[in-house]
Amino acid sequence: MRSLIAILLLLITGTAAAQRFPKDDLYDTVNQWRVSIDDGWFTAKTITYGGYTTSSRKNGISPALAPTIKTPGKAFHFDVSSNGNTITVQAAEVTHIAFLNSDLPDFLAKASDKATLYYTLFDVPANKAGSRWEMILKASTYMELNADKPAGILRTAKEDIRITANNRFGPANSYEQLCYVFKQGKKSVAAVIPGDAPRVWVRKGLDESTVQVLAAAIGALLLR
């Protein structure tokens, strides 16, 4: 009986989500990456997703990626490795005031000076220009998640990828199954659900450097 009730609840949740969000072929199985977590008694937590594997988190600032942001909070760094390439990712929490001298999208610029943002910084080896990417992410409200509203940006000086956040896979007005979506133009190119049972999707056919950028950003959300 309990199993039947659980199945009915899942069907109801899935139907409600389908009504709240338009269909998106990003979430087809062809784009889904297998995710596995290694978190043993005597080993630090690492995550493998698709062809990428994170190292464990190390507290503090990475010598290889000294960020330009002063006094970051809860700073940690880690590596993302694939096919002999390694990307070092620096992550930290910063206050909005740290970006007063930088142009931000309107939805981020409107935040109060004391608002806390999740900030990551990394270089991509496959990019010939050696571009340094940064991801800036804000906390979303229930109402914003219900409508897949903008939550952040992944950018260099020359290009950017928008990030939205939604509860497509969970109930309305909740943070359950929080899903971050990366978008180029109007197209969703990747998505990740962090947490104890993470899920990752990356659209087939993207160029190598874009996939590496997305993989590094996804790793920063999985290990957050």
How much of the chain exceeds pLDDT 70, in percent? 88
* 15 within domain boundaries: no
Average pLDDT over the chain reads: 87
* 209 within domain boundaries: yes
Residues contacting 198, CB < 8 A, separation 6+? 35, 37, 47, 49, 192, 222
What pLDDT, in 10s, does the model give residues 72-126? 889 999 999 998 889 999 999 998 877 766 788 888 888 777 789 999 999 887 6
* 97 within domain boundaries: yes
Res 10 pLDDT > 50: no
| Total domain count, the chain | 1
* Structural domain of 81: 22-222
pLDDT reported for residue 11: 43
* 49 within domain boundaries: yes
* 69 within domain boundaries: yes
pLDDT reported for residue 106: 87
pLDDT reported for residue 129: 56
Res 3 pLDDT > 80: no
> What's the average model confidence in pLDDT over 184-205?
96
pLDDT reported for residue 109: 84
* 5 within domain boundaries: no
> What's the average model confidence in pLDDT over 115-141?
84
| Buried-state track 184-200, b at ≥16 Cβ within 10 A, e below 16 | eeeebbbbbbbeeebbb
Kindly report the number of other CB atoms within 10 A of residue 47's CB atom: 23
Res 57 pLDDT > 80: yes
